[in-house]
Amino acid sequence: MKKVGVSILGLGTVGGGTYQILTKEREFYKETQHVEVSVESVLEPDEEKLRALGVPETCVAHNIAEVALDPDVHIVVECLDCADVAKEYVLDALKAGKTVVLSNRELYAKHAQELERAARRYNAGLFFEASCAGGVPVIRALLDGLQSSRICAISGLFGGAERELLTEMTEGRVCYEEALCRAKARGLSLASDAVGLDAAYQLSILASLAFHAKVPYAAVVREGVAGITPEDVAAGDVLGYVLRYVAVAKQSSAGVEARVHPAFVRKDGPLASVQCGCDAVLVQGDVVGEVLLSGMGTGALPVGSAVVSDILYAAAHGDLRDPSFKITAEAEPALPFTADFKSAYCLRLTVDDDPGALSKIAAAFGKNNISLAEVSVRPAEEAGKCTFLLVTHETHEEAVKGALKKLEGAGLAKAKSVLRVIG
């Protein structure tokens, strides 16, 4: 039976979950996977965390050099919060010839090229299933289950502050400011320059694997939820939609588009049914069609399970996997990116209560090659006004912007909100 020694760097939520799983299920893995996994060491300075998990004093490492030089450690598991520290430790482990299983999505999204280069130079494995979508095995699916298809699109719901805020706004029917106050009271922190960054890191990794081309996280267009109002939530109810914070990447002859933002999804669609706390990834391939993967996106044990799956996979597949594309810091110059997204759109317009208003607006959209799929007329708070809820067929973003500019310029309508519709 193969014996594998593991060292865990960090006993936070993910590291703690990983330690619990490995110590509890050791006999199960021997019986079913024919591998004996032992935790040889843990690098964690917080003594309280060590005591809480019952880590023996003999298993406590004091620095990364001790871990890297230990001949009984074959796999180093990175579960650190700080990407800079994680990068330093991971490179030290790879240089020592240790296979590395990492969970830090920021680390891999920013430094994949350096980490992969080191792994090949020192003949060490590098695995990162837990970096995306929590406990959902989407990376393994892309690499080992869906490689028969050309992936044209990948979309999903990933954990992050924006999703938590949007959930608070939609379920509590409160404004952004109130949702933010409630979230902060629960300990959520959201830096103004980090809007959508967590989702962007994940989309960068997944889109790169799906499209066999580097999609840098900096190329992902990020939009927050600060502009969402209770009126938007109510409009979605009328039209049969719910608001979700989505990640979307598409590849076409026009190039690659990658974006994270709030959007409407149909109440009867696959992304609307995803429960709170769960992540979901919808993959569209030319051969396989649509594949939806969903599961717990956060938590010690769900994400720890993704880490452990990499440990077991690495134990069974010691050979290095050559990437299907050139992993660089930036995208290849020949790969175009577009910001003129193609999507359906939901528009909430305030217009004069005029019997001919709808025909004028439809005509204006038609001149911009935009056709309407749904129309609903609602009363407005202003006297002599009404609210139009319009859903377009799929069209280009620039066309929508152009049509709205003409409508507002002519005094025919004022856009209260413009939200994309997914699916």
Here the CATH number for the domain that contains residue 397 is 3.30.70.260
> What CATH number is given to the structural domain containing 42?
3.40.50.720
Same domain for 285 and 162, yes or no, is: yes
CB atoms within 10 A of CB 89: 24
Same domain for 56 and 97, yes or no, is: yes
Quick check: is 213 in a domain? yes
Quick check: is 79 in a domain? yes
Q: What's the rounded mean pLDDT across residues 3-15? A: 97
Closest by CA position to 231, among listed 169, 182, 279: 169
Q: How far is CA 306 from CA 79, 132, 136, 194, in A?
A: 12, 9, 7, 25
- Tell me the H-state helices in 354-395: 357-367
Same domain for 144 and 288, yes or no, is: yes
- With 0-12 / 13-18 / 19 or more C-beta atoms within 10 angstroms meaning exposed / middle / buried, residue 381 is exposed
Quick check: is 306 in a domain? no
Q: What's the rounded mean pLDDT across residues 4-13? A: 97
Same domain for 354 and 229, yes or no, is: no
Among left, alpha and beta (phi > 0; psi -120 to 50; other), residue 247 is beta
At residue 132, does pLDDT exceed 80? yes
Quick check: is 286 in a domain? yes
Q: Is 190 helix (H, G, I), strand (E, B) or coil?
A: coil
Count of the separate structural domains present in the chain: 3
Residue 133's pLDDT is 93
Q: What's the rounded mean pLDDT across residues 370-384? A: 86
In this prediction, residue 325 has a pLDDT band, given cuts at 50, 70 and 90, of confident
At residue 192, does pLDDT exceed 60? no
> What CATH number is given to the structural domain containing 165?
3.30.360.10
Of 39-53, 62-76, 399-413, the least confident: 399-413
At residue 28, does pLDDT exceed 90? yes
Q: Are 343 and 261 in contact (CB under 8 A)?
A: no
Task: Choose the final residue of a domain: 109, 131, 153.
Answer: 131
Task: Choose the final residue of a domain: 296, 330, 355.
Answer: 296
Q: Are 296 and 278 in contact (CB under 8 A)?
A: yes
Residue 319's pLDDT is 67
Quick check: is 323 in a domain? no
Number of helices and strands (H, E) in the chain? 14, 17
Quick check: is 64 in a domain? yes
Same domain for 124 and 160, yes or no, is: no
Same domain for 292 and 174, yes or no, is: yes
Query: Which of 244 and 254 is assigned the larger pLDDT?
Result: 244
Same domain for 236 and 174, yes or no, is: yes
In percent, the amount of the chain with pLDDT more than 90 equals 70
Q: Are 12 and 298 in contact (CB under 8 A)?
A: no
Residue 329's pLDDT is 83
Same domain for 198 and 292, yes or no, is: yes
Predicted model pTM: 0.93
Per-residue pLDDT reduced to its tens digit, 250-301 = 998 888 999 999 999 999 888 888 877 789 999 999 999 999 999 988 889 9
Same domain for 155 and 279, yes or no, is: yes
Q: Which residue range is the domain that position 221 belongs to?
A: 138-296
Task: Choose the final residue of a domain: 101, 131, 161.
Answer: 131
Residue 335's pLDDT is 87
Same domain for 358 and 273, yes or no, is: no
Q: What are phi and psi of 276, to 5 degrees?
A: -60, 135
Residue 182's pLDDT is 87
Same domain for 110 and 249, yes or no, is: no
Same domain for 231 and 261, yes or no, is: yes
Quick check: is 303 in a domain? no
Q: What's the rounded mean pLDDT across residues 296-321? A: 90
At residue 101, does pLDDT exceed 90? yes
Q: What 8-state DSSP symbol labels residue 337?
A: B
Quick check: is 314 in a domain? no
